[in-house]
Amino acid sequence: MSKRPIVVIPSDDPVQCQGSPRLDELRKRADVRLFTDRCTNVEEQVRRAHGAVAIINSRSYVKWPAEVLQRLPDLKFITVCGIGTDSIDKPAARKLGITVSNLPGRTAPVVAEHAFGLMFAVAKRATWHTDQLRAGNWAKMDMVLLQGKTVGIIGAGPIGAHMAKLCRGIGMNVLGWTFHPSAERGRQLGIEFVPMDDLLRRSDVVSLHLPSTEESKKLLGAREIGLMKPGAILVNTGRGALVDEAALVESLNAGRLTGAGLDVFEQEPLPKGSPITKCEQVVMTPHIADMTPEGLDLLNHGVVENTLAFLDGKPQNVVN
C-alpha cells in the first residue's frame, strides 16, 4: 500500500480538473485518483473515496451528507472548486474532524461577466429572436434598454461587487441588499444598500449572488417575486435554492416578468421536461458560469493550493 496520502477527485464530469497541469504539483506530494465519469450511486461514491485523506469535490452534484462521511474514516479534508459548500454537511464534517475549504472570490470577474451576459441576453430577447429566425420567421419582439435602468444586486461579495461595477459601466443605477450591510462597503462598491422589499419594488433587474445557506434558501419566494416590478428581469448565478422555482415559473407564464437568466436550478442536472424549460422568455445555462479556460485554471490552481496547504498542516479558506 502506498505511504503517500491519497487525494480523490470522485466525479469530474463535466470536465473541471482532468488534464489540468495544476495537478502536477499535487502529484509530487500525493497519489491523485481522478474519476472522469459520474458516480451512479452512493456505494460507488464511497468506493471511489475509500482511503482518501483529501477530496477535491469538483462538481457540486456530488453530495457529502453525514451518512457518507461516516463511512470514510481516513478522510480529513474536502475542498470545493468554488465558493459554495452546500454539497457538504459541514457540521457533521466538523464533528468527524474533517476540514472543509472553499475558494472565495477566485472567479468573481468570470461569474459576474456570465451574469451580465445573461441579463443582456434576456433584455435583448436573444434566444427568442434566434429561435424565430431558425424557424424561418422574420418575427420581432420589443427589447429592454438597460442604460438608465436600476439593477438590484442581492449579495455584496466579490461576485456581486464585480457585477455592480459592470452594470455601472453601462449607466445603470445600482441598489444592493446583503445580510450584513455597511455604509462604508456601500461607498466602496458604489452600491446603495436598501431593504429587500424596497430593492425588489425599485429594480428593473434583480441579480442573485449569494451561496445557499439555511438563511438564504427560498429567499425569493412567491411573495418576493410578486413584489418585483412588472416587466423586471431576474438573473441567478448563485444557487437554485435561492429561488422558489415554481413561483418563478408562475410569474413568467403570467407575463409579470420580462424574463429570467438562470445558470442554477433547484434540481441539477435539470430534469427533462422541467416547467422552467417551457418558459420561452428564459435564457438558461447548465451551471457553467465560471467555465472559461481562465476560470477553470483559477479554480484548479485554487483547489491544489488548498490541498497542499492542508497537507502542510496549515489549512486555508476553512469554512467549518
Catalytic residues: 239, 268, 287
Residue 314 near residue 33 (C-beta atoms within 8 A):
no
| The three grid cell numbers given for residue 130, joined into one nine-digit string | 434566434
Nearest to 309 by CA among 6, 24, 29: 29
Nearest to 18 by CA among 44, 39, 42, 36: 36
- Return the beta strands (E) in 269-308 as ranges: 282-284
Residue 195 near residue 221 (C-beta atoms within 8 A):
no
Nearest to 162 by CA among 106, 204, 217: 106
Nearest to 149 by CA among 125, 171, 127, 128: 171
Distances (CA, A) of 292 to 48, 84, 85, 114, 116: 28, 18, 21, 10, 15
At what angle are helices 108-123 and 293-311 packed, to 10 degrees?
Answer: 150
> Whole-angstrom Cα distance, residue 130 to residue 125?
8
Amino acid at 288: I
CA angle, 149 then 152 then 153, to 5°:
135
Residue 31 near residue 51 (C-beta atoms within 8 A):
no
H or E segment and range at residue 78: strand 77-80
C-alpha atoms less than 13 angstroms from C-alpha of 34 in its C-beta half-sphere = 18
Residue 174 near residue 125 (C-beta atoms within 8 A):
no
> Whole-angstrom Cα distance, residue 225 to residue 229?
9
